[in-house]
Amino acid sequence: MGDDLIRQLNHASLDARLKRISDKMSHSVRAMYKKMALDVEPNWYLVLTIVNKAPDVSVMEIAHQLRFTHQSVINITNKMVAKGYLKNMKDTHDKRKTVFQLTEKATQKLPLFTQIWDCGTAAIFESLNGDVSIIQHLNTLETNLEELSFGDRILEKLEAAT
């Protein structure tokens, strides 16, 4: 730990620590999918889950549920359409909206994906030594940052210091 600046900085480097953990997990899952000869990306399970539960869901609805930007969801869904996991079409009531459904390929692979995701959930629990209290802390952090952004909080501190 002596040469790990991010750990040394403790909560001052929380953003970098979360990014590093996320990157490690995503890289590892991407490599696992490659070993399994599955042409999917680590974050696709979120969209597959939503579309499976609510066919004909729009980009905006997916973005809202995930709290992702509209552009992020478009990037993900475009890749999923290109790989044959989603089909997109215009909404029957509002032709301006694009909605998604699972393809036959996605439907056939869903049981395998569900098994992988369940094992992933178990692996996270195991990696946390069974202590999931971090989730409550992340919920608190996320809620507080929705109320006032990190940048705005820094500006407040700067203004108070002057």
According to the model, what pLDDT value does residue 94 have? 86
Is residue 1 scored above 70 in pLDDT?
A: no
Nearest by Cα to 110 from 29, 35, 45, 41: 45
pLDDT digits (tens, 9 = 90+) for 17-30: 999 999 999 999 99
Give the residue, 91 or 80, on which the prediction is more confident. Answer: 80
Q: Indicate the average pLDDT of the chain.
A: 95
pLDDT digits (tens, 9 = 90+) for 126-141: 999 999 999 999 999 9
Q: What is the DSSP letter of 8?
A: H
Long-range contacts of 148-153 (CB under 8 A, 24+ apart): 150/15
Q: Which domains does the chain have, with CATH numbers?
A: 5-128 (1.10.10.10), 132-162 (no CATH)
